[in-house]
A and B are shown apart, each in its own frame.
Chain A
Amino acid sequence: MVSFTLRRLGAGVVLLIAISILTYSILFFSSANIARNLLGDQATEEQIVLKEQQLGLDQPFLSRFADWFMSALSGDFGRSWFTSEPVAVAIANRLPITLTLVAVAILLTAIISTLIGMLAAVKRGWMDRAVQIGAVIGYAAPGFVIAVLFVTIFAVQLRLVPPVSTISPGATAAAWFTSLLLPVIALAINAVASSAQQLRSAIIKQLERDYVRTLRSRGIAEREILFRHVLRSAAPAGLTILSLQFIGMLGGAVIVEQIFALPGIGSLAVTATASGDIPVVMGVVLFTVIIVIVVNLLVDLVNGWLNPKVRVS
């Protein structure tokens, strides 16, 4: 298990380096006008040249990447070209919001879609059909349409929660709750729609396994079979489904944060890529990939732990 973890972490590091190079080179070719955009329309040519020197934009690709990479290795991700904020601070400020958003949404998705998926798998009939139809509709409705609908109805019309995030440093739990309630639901709806459907299939697959029939023949109650045996066997498949949803949600958070003006990683990513703020984009991409690697590793570890074949040997 330890060597497995180390191997995976090693592969993760290689992945991080590969993605760094890829992203940096994509961004490199888009950074031609940074100095001008920083300086605005009053700037003279000399000013622009000077600014490019200050930012090191006059350096060739390899030396720029090497500079960035070496500082990043030592933990220094530089400062945003546009807000002068250290990238590490910028991410540290925003990460808790995005992580809370996504974590709560995935938790909600896990609970609701397991419940729905289970009911549909066990009850079949109208329940099953309702889930299938709900899944199709929930899946087909673009997430941002739902989010905008939510803001309009619950925040602007009914005034139940503020339409714009009130999370700031030192904000109360209530502020976090009211600010994240709608974004979490908006994120979770699409995820529930697609994962309930997949969990249903995973559970049905387990329910059809031979040992379930044997357990029934032994007089074990249906409820116990479901909760103790079937759900446990379906867990690896479920975790994999949810980990993919998690990665998807990091993307969905970009849009949702934009709509609810949540100061998270997603909105940082949008402004940074729109303005070509390379240090920030690099930081965001790296941290996101690290999160994804960690989540995937955790899922593999939990799946390994759930599987006695791996655990025992």
Chain B
Amino acid sequence: MTFGISHRRAAGVALTLAAGLLLTACASAEPAPSGATDEPGEFVRGEALRLGVLGDPLSWDPSQAHVGHLLQPYQAVYDTLIMREPDGALSPMLATEWSYNEDLTELTLELRDDVTFSDGEAFDAEAVKANVENFKAGNGRQAAQLADVEAVEVVDADTVVLELSQPNPALEYYLSQAAGLMGSPAAIGTEGIATLPVGSGPYVMDSTSSVPGSQYVFTANENYWNPELVKFNRVEMKVLTDVTARVNALVSGQIDATLVDARTAGQVEAAGKTLSANQVDWTGLLLLDRDGKLAPALADVRVRQAINYALDREAMLEQVQLGAGTVTNQVFGPESGAYVDELDETYSYDPEKARELLDDAGYGDGFELTIPTFPGLESIVPLLTQQFADVGITLIAESVPPQNIQADIAGGKFPAAYFFLFQGEPWVAINQMISTEATYNAFDSTSPELQKLIDEVRITGATSDDAAKKINEYVTEEAWFAPLYRLDQMYFYDPNTITSVPQTQMAVPSIYNYSPVQK
């Protein structure tokens, strides 16, 4: 831009003019977007939002939807019953209000009555019932979200009641995620919806321009019930699995926003892109074999604590993540109610103490510990190996094909594993790695004390923070894990074209969080 500060007004006029021209051009091509006018200060819809995405949705059937960065594509075409704001607060979407009965087994939802799906079907209580049933029958990746929903009762056209077999403190959250995505009752359950989504979302898929595995193109839904959420005429999602490709595409201006990693962030930053980071995952060791089935040493809490003391978390954060993250000793995130500040001082780097603990436990001569390794751990494994060696433990990293990694960890093939795990709501986290049903509690470790706390969280629901904190304290002190740090998600966007607000607990923003730059 050649204009100095004093010319700002002139520039502003020029830009307004340009924007006006742009709008007229749009208007002549298609029906004028409702509410869009030439008036200055009014929101002007962006032409296109071009995102670099990491992977494909498996299927556009909402019952197969996923969470985290894989929720974003579904959000473009489907609305959720409840909206999750960027800070995690829940607010009305297709459901205008919702409330539990006294024993937390019935959730009553009041629905909007002005929503239609892109195929013309109306959204109503029957549609919700059909979707919930489809979700439960679909056996999708997040089927567990509605595992506790036993039945759906249609009260009237815009009232529906979800009946639960037992209280589920995360249900409202789930209804803002995969389980809340509403597809057209005429399309769900058919084979076609796997490749062509039919929802009520702010955008409609342009299937002729979309190639699964390569790119998805969406156009604005002109009949959308909430025009404010339709901020672009067109949304393109380019599937770029390789981080270098994402970096190149973003740096060269082919896309407006994408997720990169700490090692490439400098390159992107130098190209003038804006970082919009948040923390979603923690990374570290899961010391799974707490009963010592495969590695007897791990049965001793002192050994697990020794491992925690042996790790120089600051050094590793600095070396592997170039400092982009926060070291931690706990597996719950700061946004969750279970977070306890003081716990992060439990295990400081102290190899001397680690050796002492190992001595006390009778492993002064060390032992062998095998963990699976897979692409992505190239930098961290040598660092871990060295630090383990420094206290006398021989770490053996066994290569496992990526498609087996999850099964091998969950199936109890390894006594410990280095992994990246999502830091969600307490109940989600508990069911991911702490309860006996949890995938990453491979050896079903538990204790009566812990089980009591878990049951308490389930029943007390939204007010369960105290119990969740106790669980956190329990697993930290028992050294069930050896967390290293929470990773910064290096999400960058091009400040010249869009703005983007990070979404809590999601590596990429919700589709609603992007806005065109207003000129």
Q: Do chains A and B touch in the complex (CB under 8 A)?
A: yes
Q: Which residues of A contact B (CB under 8 A)?
A: 30, 32-34, 36-44, 47, 50-51, 54, 79-80, 82-86, 90, 93-94, 148, 151, 155-156, 159, 162-164, 166, 168-170, 258-261, 263, 267-268, 271, 274-276
The verdict on B28 contacting chain A, using a C-beta distance below 8 Å, is: no
List of B residues within 8 angstroms of A148 by Cβ: 244
* Apart from the given pairs A42-B431, A43-B141, 17 other A-B contacts in the complex at a CB distance below 8 Å: A32-B407, A37-B406, A39-B143, A40-B406, A43-B143, A43-B144, A79-B194, A84-B195, A86-B195, A94-B214, A156-B251, A162-B254, A164-B245, A166-B254, A168-B209, A168-B211, A275-B403
Q: B211 and A42: CB pair below 8 A? A: no
Q: B213 and A41: CB pair below 8 A? A: no
Cross-interface CB contact of B194 among A38, A47, A84, cutoff 8 Å: A84
For B68, give the chain A residue with the smallest CB separation: A40
Can you list 16 contacts pairing A with B, beta carbon distance less than 8 Å?
Answer: A37-B403, A37-B407, A41-B406, A42-B143, A44-B143, A44-B437, A83-B56, A83-B57, A84-B61, A90-B212, A155-B248, A163-B245, A163-B251, A164-B255, A260-B245, A261-B245
Cross-interface CB contact of B213 among A33, A164, A263, cutoff 8 Å: A263
Instruction: Mark B198-226 against chain A: 1 for CB-CB distance below 8 A, else 0.
Output: 00000000001111111101000000000
Q: B139 and A47: CB pair below 8 A? A: yes
The verdict on B189 contacting chain A, using a C-beta distance below 8 Å, is: no
Q: Which residues of B contact A (CB under 8 A)?
A: 56-61, 64, 66, 139-145, 147, 194-195, 208-215, 217, 238, 240-242, 244-245, 248-249, 251-252, 254-255, 401-404, 406-408, 410, 431-432, 437, 439-440
Query: Most B CB atoms within 10 A — which of A36, A50, A151, A260?
Result: A36
Q: B248 and A164: CB pair below 8 A? A: yes
Known A47-B143, A258-B242, A261-B245: A40·B66 in contact at CB below 8 Å: yes
For B408, give the chain A residue with the smallest CB separation: A33
List of A residues within 8 angstroms of B143 by Cβ: 39, 42-44, 47
For A258, give the chain B residue with the smallest CB separation: B242
Q: B139 and A42: CB pair below 8 A? A: no
Give A166 to B245 CA distance when docked, in angstroms. Answer: 12
Known A83-B56, A85-B213, A164-B240: A276·B245 in contact at CB below 8 Å: no
Give A258 to B244 CA distance when docked, in angstroms. Answer: 10
List of A residues within 8 angstroms of B195 by Cβ: 84-86
Q: A33 and B406: CB pair below 8 A? A: yes
Give A258 to B239 CA distance when docked, in angstroms. Answer: 12
Query: Most A CB atoms within 10 A — which of B238, B252, B402?
Result: B252
List of B residues within 8 angstroms of A54 by Cβ: 139
Give A53 to B7 CA distance when docked, in angstroms. Answer: 69
List of B residues within 8 angstroms of A162 by Cβ: 249, 252, 254
Q: A83 and B254: CB pair below 8 A? A: no
Q: B58 and A38: CB pair below 8 A? A: yes
Give A226 to B215 CA distance when docked, in angstroms. Answer: 49
List of B residues within 8 angstroms of A168 by Cβ: 209, 211, 214-215, 217
Q: B407 and A164: CB pair below 8 A? A: no
For B422, give the chain A residue with the smallest CB separation: A41
Q: A163 and B249: CB pair below 8 A? A: yes
Q: A170 and B406: CB pair below 8 A? A: no
List of A residues within 8 angstroms of B144 by Cβ: 42-44, 47
Q: B439 and A43: CB pair below 8 A? A: yes
B51 to chain A, nearest CB (A): 13
Cross-interface CB contact of A155 among B252, B410, B440, cutoff 8 Å: B252
Q: B249 and A36: CB pair below 8 A? A: no
B215 to chain A, nearest CB (A): 6
Cross-interface CB contact of A42 among B194, B255, B432, cutoff 8 Å: B432
List of A residues within 8 angstroms of B209 by Cβ: 168-170
A35 to chain B, nearest CB (A): 9
For A270, give the chain B residue with the smallest CB separation: B241
For A264, give the chain B residue with the smallest CB separation: B214
Known A36-B410, A43-B141: A156·B404 in contact at CB below 8 Å: no
List of A residues within 8 angstroms of B211 by Cβ: 93-94, 168-169, 263
List of A residues within 8 angstroms of B407 by Cβ: 32-33, 36-37
Give A55 to B245 CA distance when docked, in angstroms. Answer: 33
Cross-interface CB contact of B252 among A30, A159, A268, cutoff 8 Å: A159
Q: B439 and A169: CB pair below 8 A? A: no
For A170, give the chain B residue with the smallest CB separation: B209
Q: B141 and A38: CB pair below 8 A? A: yes
List of B residues within 8 angstroms of A169 by Cβ: 208-211
Q: B241 and A83: CB pair below 8 A? A: no
Give A41 to B281 CA distance when docked, in angstroms. Answer: 14
Known A163-B249, A169-B208, A169-B209: A33·B141 in contact at CB below 8 Å: no
Give A297 to B194 CA distance when docked, in angstroms. Answer: 39
Give A169 to B212 CA distance when docked, in angstroms. Answer: 11
List of A residues within 8 angstroms of B194 by Cβ: 79, 84
Known A36-B410, A79-B194: A42·B141 in contact at CB below 8 Å: yes
For A163, give the chain B residue with the smallest CB separation: B248
Cross-interface CB contact of A84 among B59, B238, B402, cutoff 8 Å: B59
Give A41 to B420 CA distance when docked, in angstroms. Answer: 12
List of B residues within 8 angstroms of A37 by Cβ: 403, 406-407
Query: Most A CB atoms within 10 A — which of B213, B248, B439?
Result: B213
Give A275 to B55 CA distance when docked, in angstroms. Answer: 12
For A54, give the chain B residue with the smallest CB separation: B139
B254 to chain A, nearest CB (A): 5
Q: B254 and A163: CB pair below 8 A? A: yes
B134 to chain A, nearest CB (A): 15
For A273, give the chain B residue with the smallest CB separation: B403
Give A38 to B138 CA distance when docked, in angstroms. Answer: 12
Cross-interface CB contact of A164 among B61, B249, B402, B403, cutoff 8 Å: B249
List of A residues within 8 angstroms of B244 by Cβ: 148, 151, 259
List of A residues within 8 angstroms of B145 by Cβ: 42
List of A residues within 8 angstroms of B215 by Cβ: 168, 263
List of B residues within 8 angstroms of A155 by Cβ: 248, 252
